[in-house]
Amino acid sequence: MNGEECKENAAGLQPERIQKILSAYGVASRRNAEKMIIDGRVSINGVQATLGQSAKSGIDIISVDGVPLAEKNEFVYLMLNKPCGYITTVKDTRGRKTVMELITGINGRVYPVGRLDKDSEGLLIFTNDGGFANSIMHPSFDKQKTYEVEVSGDVQNALKLLKLPVSIDDYTVQAHSVELSDINNGGGTLRISISEGRNRQIRKMCWVCGVSVKSLKRISIGPLKLGELKSGQWRHLTDEEVSALG
């Protein structure tokens, strides 16, 4: 038995499908990881991976877009105040600006947790910890997300309707809470908290309730608040913030 075989046996590691490893590291869902493999973005020990191939996490060097996966003990947790005009994706084939362009100068590779659409701004979390990401995104963990939403239209009537179950895209959603922060002749500002995170959910809820969204900003996720972080800037989460979110 050679030295490499001894190392593998001592580690007790069994080969796993690459998409499963990528998902465990928080790179992408298994389905999206399969697409990354098909697109030629994944390599094992410097050789382009193929769909269905297995590897040993911690022994084989698995890279995405040329960047090796972080070790399990090298988890990174960040928050960004996303500006408008950036899309929440790691890579865009249409050449649009992505939030990854704003996350520079860190060790390791991170990915956005959930998303904010191009025209929305505010709190966005990044990590390479798949379990942590799932605890934020999955509705069963009930991580409330709060938004400040400037709208035009009959804001008083919308305030009443938004507190009720709302039907959008053939499913029913309901805000956890809705408050009126400000009112003016043309509309006002609402503070809306939800536990789900369906595509453009807040905008669709407002439209169904008779108001149009002029601006949308996420100000908190669970106990984590955006605070005074300036637009386009990011910072590491504290250990206390990570523990509170996880």
Question: Which residue numbers are catalytic?
Answer: 117
The 8-class DSSP code of residue 83 comes to P
- Beta-carbon contacts of 178 under 8 Å, excluding residues fewer than 6 positions away, are 159, 162, 163, 190, 191, 192, 193
- Beta-carbon contacts of 64 under 8 Å, excluding residues fewer than 6 positions away, are 22, 27, 36, 41, 42, 109
Q: Where are the alpha helices (DSSP H) in 12-108?
A: 18-24, 30-38
- Smallest Cα–Cα separation from 103: which of 129, 73, 82, 123? 82
Distance CA 59, CA 71 (A): 11
How many helical (H) and strand (E) elements, i.e. helices and strands, does the chain have? 7, 17
Distance CA 24, CA 29 (A): 9
